[in-house]
Chains A and B, each alone.
Chain A
Amino acid sequence: MQVGIDLGSRTIKVAVVEDGRMIDYRIAESGFDPHGQALEMIKQYKPSKIVATGYGRHLAQKHFAHDVITEIKAHAIGARYHFPECTTVVDIGGQDSKVISLGANGSVVNFQMNDKCAAGTGRFLEIMATSLGFALDEFGPAALESDQEVAINSMRTVFAESEVVSMKNRGIPPKDVANAVHLSVVNRLTAMLNRVGFGESIVFSGGVARNPCIVKMLQERLDCVKVESPSAPDIVGALGAALYADRC
């Protein structure tokens, strides 16, 4: 049995693998004591090896993990578990978004991450949802109801936020503003995809993959490309770490 643990800035994800198959997984808020939380989450398992990934990987290695890999490599491995042929992975997590291009053998050949600004990440969607008065899980569905295309021009979170406020003040319906916010995230994503290059099918992971509007817009944008998501998109990184532990 191997455990992979993905210590993100907001949540911790754990995936458990036995004989190369995922047998369990868990997700919890990082809270004020991520180290304690992580230990709590894995204490019921008896793994031969623990591999950590994510923002807190080095902290985990100091205390309990046997090895670390980056989120990039972890997502590459995790995505291949679900879609063995995939050559492109898009991951939008809380603090960052990334596009990873894989070689035929599954190794990482190229990748891009967003710069230090939050735009284009889950956090950006969350900030915008809050300022428009939506709960996060209503945000995507609300945007889908819009049939008006309005655009946000600014790519920077702070400016985008004031643009959103001024749209609200101009009386543009919240669902249309929501639509514009989603569109701006997808525009960023496609720009990154174009830089890295992509194949015929794209695996979309990370919590934002559960947002139906982002998925739909991305699919529309990339026309002849198939956009697929695993059933538990949040734990792709943790799963990749666990599978890595299994391999070596």
Chain B
Amino acid sequence: MEAARFEVKPYPEMWESLDMDVPRFDKARQMLGEVYGKMFMSQPNRPEKMAYFDDMISEIFGRRIQEMIDVKKEGRPIVGTFCVYIPEEVVVAAGGVCVGLCGGSPGSIPDAEKILPRNICPMVKSAFGFKVGKICPYFQVVDFVYGETTCDAKKKTWEILDRLVPTHVMEIPQMKNARDKTLWFEEVKDFKTKVEEVCQKTISTDDLAAAIKVINNKRRALQRLTKVRASSPAPISGKDALLIEQIAFYDEPVRFAEKVNELCDELEERARNGEGVIDSSAPRVMVSGTPMALPNWKVHNLIEAAGAVVVNEESCIGTRYFKDLIDENKSTMDEQLDALTDRYMKIDCSCFTPNYERIDQILKEYKDSNAQGILHYSLQFCHTYNIEEIKVREACEKEGIPYLSIESDYSPEDVGQLQTRIEAFLEQIRG
């Protein structure tokens, strides 16, 4: 497929049926296609198996939505989420579909700012704006949203979002003591009850065991992708890898895992033959920090346009989503839920305090990915990541790791300045 010919396919009638602002959304669709064509399709030596993921973008507002509409017709629910803390295994066990709704586009922010304060995280504003403007088919198709009490921006936005779409909230603890785990365990149980209620279905241990396998397999496939990225020359661009990590939040999990594994076969073959997307002398950068939601490719694009390659994302749209698995060898419901709770309590989000595990994890991923520098990325107004950045910086200084911290939003205004800073960082790595 040529860059110029790449298109995100239109489905105006389906959008109409979802009560969307069709003319406006159609413009956004065209723009996404153009940006994607430019940023992705022209990359040199792309793996062949990226074709599936290109197609997922081409059909992002069509086929995948139709699949979800079909699921709904069978009386199974579509649950929208905003955090990797919501246990998708439970939704899958009930026959439902989980979809990540985090917003990564500046286009919907003006809609959000009609209601929300301006000085909050762009990811929250972008997502909220999609609902206000009726310009995201995923938001339109979900039966309800499950929010959480992680950061303040999200926690308080749920109260307002509830006016537009039914929004439930799970309480996520702020610390990781025994009593926090107990609280979280209770919340997981409530979540299960709620999902069962909506689906009018009782989740059996077999259902849950099967769902845990499905999601574990998805996470395993992504782990495998991360592992092969450690080889030099890099067998896949960081942009493509990030794209796959983003698609993980809306694709059908079994098919997705299969496709990621097929891609990994190709990439491992490349690694064996010493082939890559870029020369092995290109600086290898690891990105760490706040999630980059679709279509936020700003930083990866700048890094790779400057001749470097991104080899790892320590982020929720990245390794934090798939580094831990759930123990599959539990037989009773309580044991299963307990194992699930254990796995989820390992998520090292900056909303927790203290959060030493994350610093260790960053250093581990830095080594494992054979990176040569760390770029910390924080969305503007994300206080928890912005403050935790201090510790990441200190750790990098101590270890002598080249380091750059960036705080940015979705606007193109700071691209020139970011480009200079990123290039200077790469000069530092090149020495």
Contacts and interface: CB of A to CB of B under 8 A. Distances in A.
Interface of A: 55, 69-73, 96, 107-109, 111, 113, 115-116
B416 interface: yes
Given A70-B423, A113-B420, 13 more contacts: A55-B416, A70-B424, A70-B427, A71-B420, A71-B424, A72-B421, A96-B417, A107-B431, A108-B424, A109-B428, A111-B421, A115-B414, A116-B417
Contacts of A111: 421, 424
B399 interface: no
A107 B427 CA distance: 9
B150 to A, nearest CB: 26
B48 interface: no
A70 B407 CA distance: 20
A232 to B, nearest CB: 22
B420 A108 contact: no
B427 A72 contact: yes
Contacts of B407: 115
A94 B431 CA distance: 28
B413 A116 contact: yes
Give chain B's interface residue range (CB within 8 Å of chain A): 10 to 19
Contacts of A70: 420, 423-424, 427
10 contacts: A55-B416, A70-B423, A71-B424, A72-B424, A73-B427, A107-B428, A107-B431, A108-B424, A109-B428, A111-B424
B421 A113 contact: yes
Interface in B156-174: none
Interface of B: 407, 413-414, 416-417, 420-421, 423-424, 427-428, 431
A73 B431 contact: no
A108 B428 CA distance: 6
Contacts of A55: 416, 420
Contacts of B420: 55, 70-72, 113
B427 A108 contact: yes
Contacts of B421: 72, 111, 113
A235 B420 CA distance: 18
A128 to B, nearest CB: 21
Contacts of A108: 424, 427-428
Nearest to B422: A70
A197 to B, nearest CB: 10
A111 B420 CA distance: 11
Contacts of A107: 428, 431
Contacts of A69: 427
A69 B431 CA distance: 12
B128 to A, nearest CB: 24
A107 B428 CA distance: 8
Given A70-B420, A72-B420, A116 B414 contact: yes
B234 to A, nearest CB: 23
B172 to A, nearest CB: 31
B352 to A, nearest CB: 26
A115 B421 CA distance: 11
Contacts of B424: 70-73, 108, 111
Most buried by B among A69, A109, A116: A116
